[in-house]
Amino acid sequence: MGKKVLIIDDQPDILEVLTEIIEILGHEVVAISSGYNLDKKFQTNDFDLVVTDYQMPDMTGIDIARKIKIKYPGTKVYIISGYHQILPEDKMAEYGVSGLLDKPFEIEELKRILNA
């Protein structure tokens, strides 16, 4: 059985493509365009994994990861970024970040985190 995945990105085309790919890979997806909707989505869903963009107008992927680590421990958070190594490795666990996906990334990388 697949995982329940929350995708957060402020770009609708990215949300659409990631949703399609992750669903094709056999997982259930909820997609939102803002981190401000995070608590509302967690109230009605038990997510295994969150994939979030790093740079968004309302908050960063690191802000989202920190919030999830405190309020929803055990949920893995992966940040997608066009900036190489946005976070030193020693800070990733401290902030609740399970891993980074550098843009552009291969579908194989997405499969790897979904199957981890």
Question: Please, which residues have CB within 8 angstroms of residue 55's CB and are 6 or more apart in sequence?
Answer: 61, 81, 82, 83
| Overall average pLDDT of the 97-108 stretch | 90
Q: What is the mean pLDDT of the chain?
A: 92
* Residue labelled with tokens 């609708």: 12
Number of neighbours of residue 24 by Cβ within 10 angstroms: 9
- Could you tell me the residue ranges of all domains in the chain? 4-114
Is the pLDDT higher at 23 or at 82?
23
CATH tag for 4-114 (out of 3.30.565.10, 3.40.50.2300, 3.40.720.10, 3.40.50.850): 3.40.50.2300
What pLDDT sits at residue 13?
94
Express each pLDDT in 3-47 by its tens digit.
999 999 999 999 999 999 999 999 999 999 999 989 999 999 999
What pLDDT sits at residue 16?
96
Question: Please, which residues have CB within 8 angstroms of residue 39's CB and are 6 or more apart in sequence?
Answer: 71
Radius of gyration of the chain (CA): 13
Q: What CA–CA distance (Å, rounded) separates 27 from 21?
A: 9
What pLDDT sits at residue 116?
84
Is residue 85 very low, low, confident or very high in pLDDT (cuts 50, 70, 90)?
low
